[in-house]
A and B are shown apart, each in its own frame.
Chain A
């Protein structure tokens, strides 16, 4: 049996119906604020029990992809990301919504997810086991260097005013430093509030600095009714949209899949790297936020990276049996219910089930596209509600989403405080994207560095001498130096 046989089974009409039902359910639940894929799959998992394995897996695959796409939808339309993987999508995606191109953003996200998910699934079948072994070699030291590279790349998103961008990044790192230090267990910046011991959820930071502060800022400028918001925009991708999206999808996939396969990888790094890469390569630098109307590559790349990295996390899960994200952990439980035993011999031993699973993923992904492209039209209408009601709804949904994360009043207080801080920040003229990026990357960088140092028994030299670390660090330095040179040249050029 191979993937083709699996596809033939998955394409039976009954199974297609299951896939459609799954995609619809997943999208419906995943689109709710604060409900990410892990929670959606966990909530809907009981619905798949009692089905025969193939139907169950197809339903599950539909739910999984539906939930991921649902999260992107709220990011693009309302600036409310449902999970950390779609934070980056919100940056250009919501800018496109505000300039009347929500339809285009949703379409490139949907098709990009499909392309990346399908390529990712095919890659699991072909290079999965080999990649799993390679990915394990990425230890804490290499992962820290990878984040250094991300920081170097991020200098492009600091904006036109590098000092203010740096201040924003520092603020984000400061917010990220709140809570128990994972390595030593010491509390930092918690001010005696026990609920802060676990740190501030990155979703709360993103919702506060993106959605809440923007509503406040628009109320402040009295500029709350951008005419374009009323249109929603064309649903289909134009010829130019395709031309600009396709390379971004492919680059996003190339970044997302291998990085997703690294244990402790997650989707934050690949989506961010894809964003920074697209911005660097873009032939339309004037379209990017904060000054432009939003660039399609900034949605296409990160969305593809997100879905490819989701496929990547399936590599260690299937080939080694280790779930590296919350969603993978829930999926693993489900797959074991169907009798699938992950491990190095998975592809030889449990062949039929594996091929059925991979085929289910392809079909579920395709079904999502079938379901969502027509829906895009309806979604964009949501964005064309009158601004007064739109912002009122956004603020209520932001509080609901925040509450849903941990059911904590302290989180709501943090949301209100950071939202207000984010507003002041904008009034001061500082960019908010680096704040969120700092809060996202800071804790990761620190954890990986500390782990690397513990493993090396405190010896910095030993950390930096590892070949992977040395290469990546050199690359990061080169990127940073390159950025400085470009900036200096631009400064010397007469205005």
Chain B
């Protein structure tokens, strides 16, 4: 049985972005950055709108640039103002979406394109995008593994990390940049609305089953891969949209893991599942 080229591309994109989001998500959830991830995903909408306004055919580059600008603005506001994190992110999330919608309302004929970014369209991914996703996955994974100890220490205690020689500020910036690139590229799979599920649900599922950070990372990688590839594989024969199928597959895994952890009491000595 041969696989259609569009399906090959969709499966490959899912195969590389799923585990990467799962890996990154371990630190996103532990550092309580899920809302941050959601904010930069929504900020991408304004980047997409700006791209269309500038007449760019593929707005991926302006989307990444705008998301990065918003991510760095969040860091700057956290450092320089007394505003609460949630307030900063709510401000930038709603501001970016509103800005994007205003620009799009001034332009005509981008309705379908907008839907592709809002809800994802994995079956329209081209070979070029698959190659970029592969390159980004290799690069980001390398950097994450290289800084694994520093990231783990930073997550445990920022001051302790500083005293241990971790360049806290630079590592925070690096993590935010890597997260932004990962989230922005994953928008093609799941769309702005659902992309956070690929970052948050696999590590939460892994948390229900794992008993160490190493196990959580390995499981999260595997669950991100299985959820993304499984969702794509299910969506086509059932004639359903790819993004929501990936999210629902990930949530099914989560519910299953919760039941397993309750049944076999894996978390007996842990503080309890999320």
Interaction A to B: no
